[in-house]
Structure formats: structure tokens, C-alpha cells
Structure 1
């Protein structure tokens, strides 16, 4: 269902980076936020390049593992006082592994944790 007044291409308006690579590690999609986030590394020119060339160890080994087997990887990182959550999930279509989707976004300085039962 499409809600009235909402843009179908919500990914470009998402308040965080969405970066997608295929099973070879080739970047096939970057939303606008991702392009801006990686501007100093080439921004939009990164499309079509290999993520393995962009990562040092041990990240490169983890990425190789994720490209070989559809597994998830989620972590937080802090740089210049900004905490981000990064989650990398398998891109699956009709049961076939197509690559990896990475979502990265800032966390507020104070965040609530709700424990549900």
C-alpha cells in the first residue's frame, strides 16, 4: 500500500546511509545519504567499485566472509563524539543470496531501551 503524499523511493530520503553490494562486493546502490557520507572517498563514483578495495583488515576479512555466506553483522562505532549503529544484512531475493545491504545511522546521545516481555 502506498500512503498518500509519501514517496515510493523512501531510501533516498532515509536519514542514514544505505549501501548495497552484490556477491562480488561491487557497490550497486548508494542512497543520497551514503553518497554524501562517502564523498571524501569518491561519493557517487564509488558505484561500480569493489568494497573489498575500500576496507582495511579486519573489516576486509569480515566482508569476504559475508560475501561467501549470507550472515549478518551489526555493531556500533564512535568517532568525533558521534555514535552510529551499522547493520549489514544479506540481500536475499526469492531465496537467492544477491549481496549485502548496509544501513548506517547516528544514534541520539541519550537513547531509551525498552525491555518487552
Structure 2
């Protein structure tokens, strides 16, 4: 995963790590989101140091069974949708990508039949 030009200016934080939890890529929104932790200086470093034991276990689980984790959080009056999912090369899991997007506190939900 070397070319992320398409993601750099998205209004969604995109963070990519390898199977060892080493941060490979952060777009501009991700770097801003994690600026207090070092921003782009986190690239090449383990993301495990920034997570609780519970989160580390979840990351290991996602990588172990190539599953996806999705949830919402609210902090400082901002609600976000977090979507963590594996990325692959030739069918082999290579790491995880996290998409973090700000969403309205109340948002429409449509059920389509």
C-alpha cells in the first residue's frame, strides 16, 4: 500500500498499519486527529503504545481472524463513526485500516427493502 494520494485530503481520518501494528500511513485528517500523540511522526512506530490492553486485544483479534470492527463514539460533543477493517494483498491480510469520520449527533437512518 504505497499510493494513498486519493485519501490525503479526505474529510475522514485514514490510518493504516501492518500486521505488527506499525503505522504505515496517515492522511492529513488522521495526522490532525492524532496531533497530540505526534501526528505524522507516528508513521513507522507501533500503534500499540497508544492503546489500552482491551484495545490491543481487539486489534490482535481483528488481525487474527481478518474481521471488521465498527462503532460510534462521542467525545467533546463530536460524534464519530469508527470502522476498522483488514487490508489485503493477493488475498493475504497485511494489516488494518481505520476510517474515522465525524457524523451528526442525530442522523437519519433509512431501511431499504
User: Above 0.5 in TM-score?
Assistant: yes
| Greater Cα radius of gyration, structure 1 or 2 | 1
**CA shift at 1:16, angstroms?**
1.3
TM-score by length of 2: 0.91
Q: CA RMSD in A?
A: 1.3
Structure 2, unaligned runs of 5 or more? none
Maintained 8 Å contact 1:18/1:104: yes
| Structure 2 Cα separation of the partners of residues 23 and 106 of structure 1 | 27
| Structure 2 Cα separation of the partners of residues 67 and 26 of structure 1 | 13
Which residue in the other structure is 2:102 paired with? 106
TM-score by length of 1: 0.88
Summarize deviations over 1:19-68 as a string: whole Å, max 9, x none: 00001110001001101110100001100111111101211111121222
Structure 1, unaligned runs of 5 or more? 1-7
Runs of 4 or more, structure 1, over 2 Å off, are none
